[in-house]
Amino acid sequence: MYKRVLAAKLSLHAGELVVLKGWVRRTRAVGAELSFLVLADRSGEAQAVLSGSVAGALPSLESVVEVRGLVVPSRSRAFPVELQVEDLSVLNPADNLPFPINKPALEVGLGLIDRFRPLCLRHPSFQQVFRVQQQVVMHFEQFFAHQGFTRVSTPKIVATGTEGGAELFSVDYFGEVAYLAQSPQFFKQMLVGSGFERVFEVGPVFRAEEHRTSRHLNEYISLDIEMGFVGDVNELMDLEESFIKSLLSLLCHEFGGAIKCPPEIPPIPRLALREALSILEKTYGKAIPADENIDPEGERLISQWAEREYGVAAVFLHSYPRSIRPFYALPGHHDDTLTESFDLIFRGQEVTTGGLRQHSLAPLLASMTGRGLRPEQYEFYLQVFRYGMPPHGGFAIGAERLTMQLLGLKNIREASILPQTETRGSRNTRDA
């Protein structure tokens, strides 16, 4: 009786009759009576040997096949065992490939990668990216569940935006104008005030931003948390630092050389934004006005500075001006022109935004009207503040950005399994 085994487990079945199913990754003919086939499945690759009458039946590359035979020792250095094929069935033949995908590196540009995305996702380098990302998401869920957080799923079709801006995708909702959610922010806060106290969510968010950069997507996966009864922004930074360190430990154990793994992870330094801007000007001659956010070059430079001074290429920046934070950000305890908020700059790029939120209704309403917002349009959000809202805060991590920085990828499209950008959505097949 034949049974299917995965390529990576083939060596556990020496001397057995088995079935391999997958894609033909490489072939090699050695005369008319002997040929070799490397088959790939979700677990990895295995070698099959075809001899006699089946030797000349080599399928085209990337054809889907089923091979049956006996597992025997291999003379190949690459494979400890191989399958001595008794029968080969082509389940679905493949057309001629637009480019080779069986080389160690995929030597094509992002334009062609996006155009032939399903094909390129078969390459081991892409497979590894999304296995790493899977671990990022799974560890996020496990870590915060262990910390007493409840997983929630919030609506993605909403009546208003959370940021009060124009970066919204509008949709027709039964004749009414609605929007794709920029963030689960309002819902997270509402659920904290509803008695759950600690919540987290893994879900898509949508930003109608006209960015054509290596770091922006119009749809991405946001890893969000919100927690009640927190009065110091350092508690949030402590929590995220603990998560990041435990994540790095896990990934370094599972993926080794794919992740930059320091022997130990020192504490992540924390700087007020003004301090960081001063360091950039004094150390690198880069001047940024005090009421503006740090730019991408500044993020790279401040990470370099942190690595040199503290041994870790990451830094928490806090105390952002109110003018560049959302209306719900809590004003600074000692300077109300600032906020009790933070960003995590990780290996040269911002991956997290978070902070404490307004929890008293009157100042929240004043902040909204000061931004030109109409509170009556946000009553569903504001209701919980009328009936006892605890001090609270939270943060959101971009899963694709974190994956990108962990693996040292050059473009965030490499960290999105089906990237959605201004010029390239799932329905856009034009070459870039």
Band (pLDDT 50/70/90 cuts) for residue 431 is very low
Comparison of pLDDT for 385 and 165, the residue scoring more: 385
Domain boundary among 74, 92, 110: 92
User: 316 and 381 share a domain?
Assistant: yes
Nearest to 94 by CA among 25, 163, 35, 41: 25
Task: Report yes or no: 346 and 402 within 8 Å, Cβ to Cβ.
Answer: yes
Cα–Cα dist 272/317, whole Å:
5
Q: Which long-range contacts (CB under 8 A, 24 or more apart) does 53-60 make?
A: 54/85, 54/86, 54/87, 54/88, 55/29, 56/29, 56/32, 57/88, 58/24, 58/27, 58/29, 59/24, 59/27, 59/88, 59/90, 59/93, 59/94, 60/24, 60/93, 60/94, 60/95, 60/96
Q: Is residue 424 part of a domain?
A: no
Domain boundary among 73, 92, 111: 92
pLDDT tens column, 349-401: 999 999 999 999 999 999 999 999 999 999 999 999 999 999 999 999 999 99
Band (pLDDT 50/70/90 cuts) for residue 264 is confident
pLDDT tens column, 309-364: 999 999 999 999 999 999 999 999 999 999 999 999 999 999 999 999 999 999 99
Domain boundary among 92, 112, 142: 92
Residue 383 structural domain: 120-415
Winning range, highest mean pLDDT, from 112-116, 161-165, 210-214: 112-116
pLDDT tens column, 85-113: 999 999 999 999 999 999 999 999 999 99
Instruction: Compute the Cα dihedral for 74, 76, 77, 81 and give only its sign.
Output: negative
Strands across the sheet containing 219-228:
150-151, 198-206, 219-228, 392-398, 349-356, 341-346, 314-318, 270-272
Q: Is residue 109 part of a domain?
A: no
User: 180 and 293 share a domain?
Assistant: yes
Q: Is residue 167 part of a domain?
A: yes
User: 162 and 208 share a domain?
Assistant: yes
User: 88 and 190 share a domain?
Assistant: no
User: 182 and 325 share a domain?
Assistant: yes
Pairing mode, if any, of strands 34-41 and 3-4? unpaired
User: 303 and 353 share a domain?
Assistant: yes
Determine the pLDDT at residue 425.
55
User: 29 and 159 share a domain?
Assistant: no
Q: Is residue 266 part of a domain?
A: yes
Band (pLDDT 50/70/90 cuts) for residue 263 is confident
pLDDT at 13 over 50: yes
| CATH number of the domain encompassing residue 84 | 2.40.50.140
Q: Is residue 101 part of a domain?
A: no
User: 247 and 146 share a domain?
Assistant: yes
User: 157 and 76 share a domain?
Assistant: no
Q: Is residue 246 part of a domain?
A: yes
Band (pLDDT 50/70/90 cuts) for residue 164 is low
pLDDT tens column, 189-218: 999 999 999 999 999 999 998 877 899 999
User: 221 and 365 share a domain?
Assistant: yes
Q: Is residue 423 part of a domain?
A: no
Q: Which two tokens stand for residue 410?
A: 């050059």
User: 156 and 267 share a domain?
Assistant: yes
| CATH number of the domain encompassing residue 225 | 3.30.930.10
Q: Is residue 432 part of a domain?
A: no
Q: How many domains does the chain have?
A: 2
User: 73 and 132 share a domain?
Assistant: no
pLDDT at 296 over 90: yes
